Amino acid sequence: MKLLAWYDQNKRSLPWRLDRASLRDPYRTWISEVMLQQTLIAVVIPAYQRFLEKFPDVFTLARATEDDLRPVVKGLGYYRRFGMLHRAAKIIAEASPQDTPAWPQTQDAWRALPGVGEYTSAAIGSIAFDIPVPVIDGNVERVLCRLADIRQAPNLPALKPRYRKMVEGMLKNSGAMSRPGDFNQAMMELGQRVCTPTSPNCGTCPLASGCISRKSKSQHLAPAPKIRPEYQDVRLRMIVAVRRNPKNELEVALFRRGAGQRFLKGSRGFWYSELVDPCAEFAGSFRHSITRHRITADVQILQVSFCSKKISPLAHMTKENPDWLPVEAIENELISSLDQKAWRLTLRQLLS
């Protein structure tokens, strides 16, 4: 098949494709797929290498603590996925006899793990286990829309069954059933590098002979612009609680965010709410986006007495007791950009 021949000659050299053994290794495939969710390849490459050095197999990852994991994934964003990855590693390790990982063998079994959805399970299944299932991301959707000259928004849910049928047909009719992982990666890479949004390079495309948009010269019409989710404006108050210990050293409170929190569930950081704390000193504001939310965050510094046995005045904020950490440790503890921005404003205020 021309697509696979093109892929064999042109595929990017990526650390998780170093050799056939790496490529088909379920652990490496899983880690790379989780990291690539919502994160650019250039950012993922060094993080992936760092991750494998620290956690070379699923058992090392399962034994790790959150403190071990945090610095390794810092800077990648969307940190909930790594909490779920960690939980899934523990499930696999517990189900494994001795030192041999008992990997799930079907797409459904992968989907049963925390943080593994339809896309990730299909990617792992096809790449590491040769399960012939389509992997359809935004790049593949664009290629498919052009092949069939679909002039609709590519992310319309109604198009999903059609995409699936098209890819299943291509897989069956092209002799790629024995290499479904390569086929899926070839389609994604073709969308990234050849069938690009604004200037598709049809002259080098291995699918050109069957492409209706190319024949109709309608590449600029297929697909139509994506349907964008509406953004929601949110105002947050972030409270950085500080206290002096008996040695007069400054300590800062970090809270574990529970399942009821609107943003960054499960992460550790500063307390936030949509109410102003009247006792707190204003340190400044910043803007930040999380998925469809455009956040304006006002940072307030709350001075807390060390001697107070009651957590008050923090008691009205949360039932959780905070961890009080030395001021020097905070920078390394914060993994979300929201907390890091709040901390930079706080430091400026504390040092002024």
Q: Segment contacting ligand SF4 (CB under 6 A): 23-31, 55-63, 198-206, 322-330?
A: 198-206
Structure tokens at 297: 């965050």
- 208 is a site residue for ligand SF4 (CB under 6 A): yes
- 140 is a site residue for ligand SF4 (CB under 6 A): no
Closest listed residue to residue 55, CA positions, set 39, 80, 78, 73? 73
Among 29, 126, 185, 219, contact with ligand SF4 (rule: CB under 6 A): 219
Alpha-carbon dihedral of residues 191, 203, 186, 157, nearest 10 degrees?
Answer: 40
Check: CB of residue 238 under 8 Å from CB of residue 313: no
Nearer residue to ligand SF4 within complex by CB, 44 or 194: 194
Among 127, 133, 176, 207, contact with ligand SF4 (rule: CB under 6 A): 207
Among 145, 167, 211, 301, contact with ligand SF4 (rule: CB under 6 A): 211
Structure tokens at 220: 């600029």
Among 104, 125, 181, 200, contact with ligand SF4 (rule: CB under 6 A): 200
Among 147, 239, 301, 317, contact with ligand SF4 (rule: CB under 6 A): 147
Q: Rounded to whole angstroms, how far apart are CA atoms 137 and 16?
A: 19
> CB neighbours (10 Å) of residue 124?
27
Residue 281 designated active-site = no
Minimum distance of ligand SF4 from residue 140's CB (angstroms): 11
Q: Segment contacting ligand SF4 (CB under 6 A): 16-24, 55-63, 154-162, 196-204?
A: 196-204
Q: Rounded to whole angstroms, how far apart are CA atoms 75 and 57?
A: 22
- 153 is a site residue for ligand SF4 (CB under 6 A): no
Minimum distance of ligand SF4 from residue 145's CB (angstroms): 9
Q: Rounded to whole angstroms, how far apart are CA atoms 166 and 105?
A: 25
- 120 is a site residue for ligand SF4 (CB under 6 A): no
Q: Give, in order, the Cα–Cα distances in Å from 244 to each of 18, 35, 185, 326.
A: 52, 39, 54, 10
- 3 is a site residue for ligand SF4 (CB under 6 A): no
Among 43, 47, 64, 202, contact with ligand SF4 (rule: CB under 6 A): 202
Minimum distance of ligand SF4 from residue 222's CB (angstroms): 8
Amino acid at 334: L
Among 28, 214, 237, 257, contact with ligand SF4 (rule: CB under 6 A): 214
- 194 is a site residue for ligand SF4 (CB under 6 A): yes
- 132 is a site residue for ligand SF4 (CB under 6 A): no
Q: Are strands 293-303 and 232-244 parallel, antiparallel or unpaired?
A: parallel
Closest listed residue to residue 321, CA positions, set 261, 255, 264, 260? 255
The DSSP secondary structure of 300-327, one letter per residue, reads EEEE--SS-SS-TTSTTT-SSPPEEEEH
- 180 is a site residue for ligand SF4 (CB under 6 A): no
- 347 is a site residue for ligand SF4 (CB under 6 A): no
Q: Rounded to whole angstroms, how far apart are CA atoms 193 and 8?
A: 14
Nearer residue to ligand SF4 within complex by CB, 202 or 325: 202
The residues that are catalytic are 33
By the criterion CB under 6 A, which residues form the site for ligand SF4? 143, 146-147, 194-195, 200-202, 205, 207-208, 211, 213-214, 219
